[in-house]
Amino acid sequence: MKAASNAMSIDNNGNAILRGTLVQNQDPINPAPDQDEFVMKDSLGDVVALVRLQNGNMFISGNLFESQPSLIPPASDDFVIINSDGEVISYIDESGNFYLRGSLTQNGNP
C-alpha cells in the first residue's frame, strides 16, 4: 500500500516499511474522525487494523508474524497482498494478526 503520504510500502519479497511505528494487541482500535486512515474491519464491523496516513503509525488488534516461509491465509475475509508472481507475501487476518513473508522496518522511508 502506498498512499500520497507514503505511510507504508510492501515490496515484492514481503518486506514492509512503515514511516511510523507498529502498535500490537491494540483493543479497541478507534479511527480518528479528523485523520486520513486506511482501516480494515472484521466481519462484525470491528476495526482490526489501521494505518494513519499522516504519520505512518499502524495499529493491529493482533500480533506481527515476520519471516514466514510460506503464507496461506485461511478462506475468510482476510486482507491479502499478492506479488507480481502470484505469491501471497502479506496478509492481515480477521483477528488483526499481520503476517509478512519478509520483515518490518519501523520509522523508515517507504
pLDDT tens sequence across 25-73: 998 999 988 888 999 999 899 999 999 998 999 999 999 999 998 888 7
Torsion of CA 84, 56, 109, 5, to 10 degrees: 80
- C-alpha 50, offset from chain centre: 7
Place of cell 480494515: 40
Reply yes or no on whether the pLDDT at 4 is more than 70.
Answer: no
| pLDDT grade for 77, boundaries at 50, 70 and 90 | confident
